[in-house]
Structure 1
Amino acid sequence: MGMWGAGTGIRLSDRPLIVSDVDEVVLEFLTPFMAFLQAEGHALLPRSFRLSGNIVDRESGEAVSDVAAEALLEAFYAAQDRWQTPAVQVVETLKRLSGDADIVFLTAMPSRHAVLRRSLLDALDLPYPMLASEEPKGPLVKRLHRERDLPLVFIDDILRNLHSVREHAPASLLINMMANAEFRALAPVPAADIRVAADWAEAAKLIRGHWHAQAKTC
């Protein structure tokens, strides 16, 4: 018998829960965004771990304004189904994990793009429930999982989101994963309690190891 994640509209079974970010974790983001920018006469330079200040006009080499960068990101999300592709091994890995756990996608994007993202995920054989919200992720994950005595895993490329979930759901396994190796090398180093996975095969090993350890303590 399952239960509803409070205020989420998602019904969970009595199994472990995996909550995953989408951009740079389930779907490639930076690599297709760079290709999109090239087509628009811009480039994203791997100078630091951020978009702001690193999107430049290809002709002048000048960084675009934050307003222009937001407009380019908005245009990309409006055309995401023509650019974004699944991360390596994500489809088959999640299919296997879904035999033992509930999977929910938690994507930090404006809700106006949620319908297109949902259709893209479905088309890519990633049919798991999705929440699109720009709220902090920790409280959302806590409301979703509630007080269930079941293993919880959270996967994200951004440390701010992992820290938020750590604060609100401290028993969860936190995994930092990022598809684009060039920008991953520029990312801050996670704290010791956040595991790092190079890809979905490694993430699956961490997840199953966490489940095994949790089962031994019960």
Structure 2
Amino acid sequence: MSIDPETLRQIEELSHDDRPLLVLDVDDVILEFIRPFPRYLEKQGFRLELGSFRLQGNVFHLENGEVAEADRVRELLTSFFDSQSAWQTVTDGAAEAIETIARDAEVVLLTAMPHRHRDTRRRYLDEIGLTYPLLTTEMAKGPAIMRLRGDVARPVAFVDDMPHNLTSAQEYVPDAHLFHLMAENDLRKFLPPVSDGVTVVEDWHDARPRISAALGL
């Protein structure tokens, strides 16, 4: 699978760094998503009932109880990200843990979202002090992580809440240290098991020492 061309452009803008590399997902790893999103939906006249780990089919009109159309759900998600600074907060322990690791490692944020939201998210992350480089991708994350690592044989760790993203990283960077972290652990029951070789962590307090050890810090 090829790399997202826009993601490649963003990577090429980064300064060369040969320190250990930590790549982090954003939603429900660094910023809360699944907790504030239902509150946002209620303000718009909808409710979220998670019977599976997906939005389509789980968003309902408050007025009549009918399932929201796919196009409407996409519109709601877009408007949520447009106003993310009013809703999303930092996951407990994330800022402190990342700051500690960043003293000795390169930290890059890699979020699966439409590129048009990048500037909005960049401004918000800067406002709350998370000034690490931000990449957006609309394709699989594995090729981007491989490109980020470059030709230097340096340790790589990747943290994500979605098993398929971790699997993609495992395919393209087989020796990467992979961590499955979710802001809301109760949702794990809706997901398939993570692949062998992926470390499941409960929160950032659990993750920080494990990531540091994996990167040799």
Same fold per superposition (TM over 0.5): yes
71, 75, 94: which is aligned to 1:71? 75
Unaligned stretches of 5+ in structure 2? 1-6
Q: Are 1:21 and 1:156, in contact at CA under 8 Å, matched by a contact in 2? A: yes
Who is 2:187 aligned against? 183
Asked whether the equivalents of residues 167 and 195 of structure 2 are also in contact (C-alpha less than 8 Å), the reply is no
Q: CA deviation at 1:133?
A: 1.6
Q: 1:6 to 1:45 in 2, by over 3 A?
A: closer
Matches of 1:144 and 1:20, distance apart in 2: 12
Distance, in Å, in 1 between the alignment partners of 2:177 and 2:135 is 20
Confirm whether residue 168 of structure 1 aligns to residue 185 of structure 2.
no
- SS in structure 1 opposite 2:100? helix
What SS does structure 2 have at the residue aligned with 1:11?
coil
Moved more, 74-83 or 54-63: 54-63
TM-aligned CA deviation for residue 102 of structure 1: 0.6
Kindly report which structure 2 residues correspond to 1:1-218, keeping only aligned pairs within 5 A, or say none.
7=9, 8=11, 9-212=13-216
Identity among equivalent positions (%) equals 37
Instruction: Report the TM-score, using the length of structure 1 for normalisation.
Output: 0.91
TM-score (ref. length: structure 2): 0.91
Segments of structure 1 that go 5 or more residues without pairing to the other structure are none
User: Which secondary structure does the structure 2 equivalent of 1:33 belong to?
Assistant: helix
The one-letter amino acid of 1:117's match is R
Match of 2:3 in 1: none
Paired with 1:14 and 1:151, the residues of 2 have a C-alpha distance of: 10
CA displacement at 1:6 relative to structure 2:
6.8
Q: Which amino acid aligns with 2:122?
A: R
Once the 2 structures are TM-superposed, how far is the Cα of residue 192 of structure 1 from its aligned partner?
2.5
Do 1:6 and 1:144's aligned partners in 2 also have CA atoms closer than 8 Å?
no
Offset at residue 92 of structure 1 (A)? 0.8
- The answer to whether the 8 A contact 1:55-1:69 is kept is yes
CA contact (8 A) 1:154 1:172 kept: yes
SS in structure 2 at match of 1:56: strand
Give the secondary structure class of the aligned counterpart of 1:114: helix
